């Protein structure tokens, strides 16, 4: 907020005071995390996913490649394992295998962001790294969300812009829910999309700027058809192949699954015309997805949890994680596919692989590996045409408890299910993805970590992501053939690095 009544010297000293008070708040927040570290229990800690060192995490923010590192910021409450006034936590990696936690980047320190630095994005301009975020306040029950910027020249320390907030109120097409700026450059201009909604329909609002500071409202880029949510959060728009893709995370729909739209963007009128709508992930724990800025590949991360659900690790003083990094591509039919990054192969340790095909007979179950672990990658290809069973079931059977995770495929309908209902802690449930049309082969690539499972079916045609909280540390994958035999074409399985 500008204090125009001060003369320039006074203004400078006020700015320095503000920077200092922000710095002190960041130090306090980092100290809170350091203090919590010894109290964080290992019980459900993940081995190869990014999670907070302690306390609460939600959305990935400011995903950007800058000076040789992939930077990942995230919504963070450093004072408890529940959501609270949002800070931006920060980590970076060169390879998506080894992560380095960095000092907290943003803390709510100003009038305009006093109740939280909400989600946003990052862009590189010359040597500088700019973060765009939503300043959040609730005053007498009224929501006030404004758009702000903070800048760094070393990728670690950020100074909030003197001219904040850069966008002070929502346009008449929006509502007080007006947040999550995603910024990018196109043909020499900067663009920003914001999530909002009006009259019960979620929408995405487009802004344009020449200098990243002065933003001009362009109009409604896209909106819900009336069934797709009341507020759209965390919008992201980007070119992919010769199309554009819009991602949104909806409020006001039952399952809150992230939606994607494939279509065309007309920059002259500021409109995106969707042609195809799909679900980005069919699991319960995949939300607030964002793609990276500054990379050739379209890489994405999502928050691997969900709002309003039980997170058992809170009692161990941490909550929340991000998904594995995934690459988005469009397939020949124009649908989006999400694949784990090839870099993740470096996680592979001991392996079992059966290259030739084998058959699991009717009413039999076959253990697929002796790699007893809770930290596995499994790649399985089934020959559906030569399998007579109507259903294929893969079970992760936990060894010291009766817990199970089931992955089931219905050959006739092409439906794939993830069933976590036999794990009683957390959010047990049954989740369905439709693979259309049912093909000749089913390829499943599964990543199991201590408290997460990510299923990639048919080269990312559908993915299902869930948090799981089994008591047991080890599991044996088994294939079940019920009313007929199942032909497995190939199988590979690895212990993954811890
Ligand atoms: C999405 C979201 C964002 C908001 C942030 C607050 O999960 O609700 O819209 O900026 O979380 O933490």
Report the atom number in ligand 1 closest to the C-alpha of 86.
12
Q: Determine the number of helices (DSSP H) and then strands (DSSP E) in the chain.
A: 1, 34
Task: Give yes or no for a contact between 335 and 262, defined as CB atoms under 8 angstroms apart.
Answer: yes
The token pair at 106 is: 């943003």
Distance 108 CA to ligand 1 centre (A): 15
The pLDDT of residue 15 is 73
Mean of all residue pLDDT scores within the chain: 93
- Gap between the Cα atoms of 134 and 118, Å rounded: 5
Report the atom number in ligand 1 closest to the C-alpha of 119.
10
The pLDDT of residue 7 is 47
Report the atom number in ligand 1 closest to the C-alpha of 83.
12
Instruction: Give 407-416 pLDDT, tens digit per residue.
Output: 999 988 999 9
The pLDDT of residue 373 is 78
Which residues in the chain show pLDDT less than 70?
1-12, 14, 355, 370-371
- Gap between the Cα atoms of 413 and 245, Å rounded: 28
The pLDDT of residue 3 is 32
Residues that are catalytic = 59
Instruction: Give 307-345 pLDDT, tens digit per residue.
Output: 989 999 999 999 999 999 999 999 999 999 999 999 999
Distance 287 CA to ligand 1 centre (A): 10
Distance 12 CA to ligand 1 centre (A): 33
The token pair at 46 is: 């993940």
Task: Give yes or no for a contact between 354 and 447, defined as CB atoms under 8 angstroms apart.
Answer: no
The token pair at 133 is: 């975020």
- Gap between the Cα atoms of 102 and 117, Å rounded: 17
**Best residue among 181, 193, 234 to mutate for probing ligand 1, ranked by most atoms within 8 Å of CB:** 234
**Best residue among 52, 57, 58 to mutate for probing ligand 1, ranked by most atoms within 8 Å of CB:** 58
**Best residue among 135, 175, 179, 248 to mutate for probing ligand 1, ranked by most atoms within 8 Å of CB:** 179
The pLDDT of residue 367 is 82
Report the atom number in ligand 1 closest to the C-alpha of 307.
7
The pLDDT of residue 350 is 85
Ligand 1 binding pocket, CB closer than 6 Å: 58-59, 75, 86, 118-119, 134, 179-180, 233-234, 287-288
Q: Report cis status (omega within 30 of 0) of the bond before 217.
A: no
Instruction: Give 142-165 pLDDT, tens digit per residue.
Output: 999 999 999 999 999 999 999 999
Task: Give yes or no for a contact between 371 and 493, defined as CB atoms under 8 angstroms apart.
Answer: yes
With vertex at residue 240, the alpha carbon angle to CA 254 and CA 235, rounded to the nearest 5 degrees, is 35
The pLDDT of residue 355 is 67
Q: Helices (DSSP H) in 212-348: which residue ranges?
A: none
Task: Please tell me the pTM assigned to this model.
Answer: 0.95
């Amino acid at each position: 907020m500008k204090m125009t009544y001060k003369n320039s010297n006074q203004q400078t000293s006020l700015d320095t005071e503000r920077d200092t008070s922000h710095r002190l708040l960041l130090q306090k927040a980092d100290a809170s995390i350091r203090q919590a570290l010894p109290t964080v229990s290992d019980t459900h800690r993940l081995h190869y996913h990014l999670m907070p060192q302690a306390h609460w995490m939600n959305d990935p923010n400011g995903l950007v490649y800058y000076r040789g590192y992939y930077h990942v910021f995230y919504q963070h409450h450093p004072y408890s394992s529940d959501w609270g006034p949002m800070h931006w936590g920060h980590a970076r990696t060169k390879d998506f295998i080894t992560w380095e936690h960095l000092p907290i980047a943003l803390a709510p320190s100003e009038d305009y962001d006093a109740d939280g630095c909400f989600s946003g994005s990052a862009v590189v301009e010359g040597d500088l790294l700019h973060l765009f975020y939503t300043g959040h306040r609730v005053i007498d029950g009224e929501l006030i969300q404004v758009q702000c910027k903070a800048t760094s020249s070393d990728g670690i320390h950020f100074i909030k812009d003197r001219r904040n907030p850069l966008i002070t109120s929502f346009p008449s097409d929006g509502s007080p829910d007006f947040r999550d700026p995603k910024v990018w450059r196109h043909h020499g201009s900067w663009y920003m999309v914001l999530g909002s909604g009006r009259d019960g329909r979620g929408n995405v609002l487009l802004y344009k700027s020449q200098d990243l500071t002065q933003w001009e409202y362009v109009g409604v880029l896209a909106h819900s058809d009336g069934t797709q949510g009341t507020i759209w959060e965390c919008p992201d728009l980007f070119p992919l192949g010769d199309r554009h893709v819009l991602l949104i995370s909806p409020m006001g729909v039952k399952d809150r699954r992230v939606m994607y739209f494939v279509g065309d963007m007309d920059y002259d009128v500021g409109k995106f015309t969707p042609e195809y709508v799909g679900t980005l992930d069919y699991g319960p724990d995949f939300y607030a997805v964002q793609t990276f800025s500054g990379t050739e590949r379209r890489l994405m991360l999502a928050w691997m949890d969900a709002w309003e659900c039980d997170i058992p690790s809170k009692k161990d003083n941490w909550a929340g994680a991000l998904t594995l990094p995934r690459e988005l591509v469009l397939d020949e039919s124009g649908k989006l596919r999400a694949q784990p990054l090839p870099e993740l192969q470096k996680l592979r340790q001991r392996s079992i692989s059966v290259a030739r095909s084998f058959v699991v007979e009717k009413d039999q179950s076959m253990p697929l590996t002796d790699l007893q672990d809770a930290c596995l990658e499994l790649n399985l290809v089934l020959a559906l045409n030569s399998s007579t069973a109507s259903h294929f079931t893969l079970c992760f059977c936990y060894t010291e408890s009766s817990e199970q995770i089931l992955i089931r495929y219905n050959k006739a309908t092409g439906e794939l299910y993830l069933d976590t209902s036999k794990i009683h802690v957390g959010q047990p449930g049954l989740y369905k993805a439709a693979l259309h049309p049912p093909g000749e082969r089913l390829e499943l690539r599964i990543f199991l970590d201590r408290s997460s499972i990510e299923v990639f079916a048919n080269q990312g045609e559908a993915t299902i992501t869930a948090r799981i909280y089994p008591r047991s540390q080890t599991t044996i994958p088994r294939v079940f053939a019920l009313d007929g035999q199942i032909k497995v074409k190939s199988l590979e399985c690895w212990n993954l690095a811890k």
